[in-house]
Structure 1
């Protein structure tokens, strides 16, 4: 193994900014979501892709991949959300081992009610802190970072 190539001051500032902002921004947005809409961040995380899916239904495995969650986390969260009547689980007609997660009317009502305040908070704490030029750079830059990350298979 070669000699370690340490981060220079500019690189370290960018990296520290990234690792410091994400948990704090997420915490602020999560608290606002709970206060404004009565939804946990985990609930909102699953309601968004379900609300955007055709018919409001996704295979549990695909939902997990979309939000980067392990199978057990999806399973436990869906059980909690079923108790609140936000979603229902259904058998998968193509594969008896799989299950489908369907958005209920109550789930759709919850996401429709929560989205405006959540978007306003994202705009207040993230979008509003950036210039137009920074927005043009940050989106593509973060997409490139994501593209470099290994998938589940390494």
Structure 2
């Protein structure tokens, strides 16, 4: 087994801390500004970009297991952010769509979310660092292989 070098271990641990802090900051900002969770936001963005989706397709896009998605959609339906409809052509399937309330919540959330991401991630990097960061991410994603679709607004 090849262990990580000291530098690789430092980079890896810093990466994990960064991801955790970014997710915490995004969740906090969304909660404070518009009472949405980061999970709510992910679902609303996917539905606003693609329109109504079969539940299994939405799960593939956001990269969640069926159980997590079902619980999330139930909470969002209770708050009238999304609506679910049975598929008239396939009794095994159901479709979910964003509601007017969900679209309004997404509009309210987007500006603050984008500003937070810009200020925490991109404003502190030069153009060359941004390109390197993006290139490193693409290389790692290619090595991991297919997964959920990329969502550029998250």
| TM-score, normalising length: structure 2 | 0.89
Paired residue for 1:9?
6
Q: Counterparts of 1:45-84 in structure 2 under 5 Å?
A: 45-53=42-50, 56-84=51-79
Q: Which runs of 5+ in 2 are unaligned?
A: 148-154
Distance in 2 between residues matched to 1:7 and 1:78, nearest whole Å: 40
Distance in 2 between residues matched to 1:52 and 1:108, nearest whole Å: 11
Distance in 1 between residues matched to 2:89 and 2:133, nearest whole Å: 40
| TM-score, normalising length: structure 1 | 0.89
RMSD (CA atoms): 1.5
Q: Which runs of 5+ in 1 are unaligned?
A: none
Q: Which has the higher contact order (CA 8 A, sep 6+)?
A: 2
Residue by residue over 1:59-115, the C-alpha shift from the partner in whole angstroms, topping out at 9 and shown as x without a partner, is 111111111110011111111111111000111244221111110011111101110
Aligned to 1:90, the other structure's residue is in SS state strand
Q: How many residues align?
A: 147
